[in-house]
Amino acid sequence: MLNLKNIYVRNVLVDLNLTVNEGEFVLVIGENGSGKTTLFNTISGSVTPSGGSVFIAGKNITNEPQYLRAKLVANVFQDPKVGTVTNMSVRDNLNMAYMRGKKRTLLAPSCSKNRDDFFREKLVEIGLENRLDSLAGELSGGQRQALSMIMALITDSKIVLLDEITAALDSENSRKVLQIIDKCVYKQKKTCLMITHNKDQINQLGDRTLILKNGKLVQM
């Protein structure tokens, strides 16, 4: 599903190679500043490597910009405010995610109702099914992060990238987000890479764990 070959980025990633099979859940760990987020940015397209190649589903996308990769790669970031737009409703945030990589069109009223029903079904997982009209800025940090997870999973992206997504949350909200990961990502065999420093997560999640060290990934 994902192949990185001889990736080089500004002396942060040096001759890095990685293969992630379809349906595999891979944890990535490493010291602060080791390049974990740079690795994710290289996969998502916000960073273009100066050397090497990025392949998703057999296609070389090394030089494709981030907006063209949006339908292939879904991201959830450490800060809940990054993944959602504060002054947009929950519905509009979900619509934005739903239309990622698709042609924008106007919806007939019946289509809008059907999509709202679809959104509510997804939001049941996080208890926000009755808050489509609420602004994202009115949600708690944990709710916004959970919404970011639903937004990442609402379309069938090839790869899901989770970057320290519980680091800014308290223990209760972290537990809820991890439940979404377990139910909607891990058990459903989504192809996923997750950065974490949490030892409990390392022990509980993932098919394998990789350590980023000296610009390269090694098996734990």
CATH code assigned to 2-219: 3.40.50.300
Q: What pLDDT does residue 85 have?
A: 92
Alpha helices, DSSP H, located in 124-213? 141-153, 171-180, 199-204
- Over residues 152-158, mean pLDDT: 83
Q: Which helix (H) or strand (E) holds 55?
A: strand 51-56
Q: What share of the chain in percent tops pLDDT 70?
A: 94
Give 3-state DSSP helix, strand, coil % of the chain, rounded to 5.
35, 25, 40
**Where does 86-215 show beta strands of DSSP type E?**
159-163, 192-195, 208-213
Q: What pLDDT does residue 108 have?
A: 42
**Can you give the pTM of this predicted structure?**
0.86
Q: What pLDDT does residue 186 have?
A: 73
Q: Is the pLDDT of residue 162 over 80?
A: yes
Domain ranges in the chain are 2-219
Q: What pLDDT does residue 103 have?
A: 56
Asked which of 31-45, 86-100, 104-118 is least confident by mean pLDDT, the reply is 104-118
Q: Is the pLDDT of residue 100 over 50?
A: yes
Q: Is the pLDDT of residue 66 over 70?
A: yes
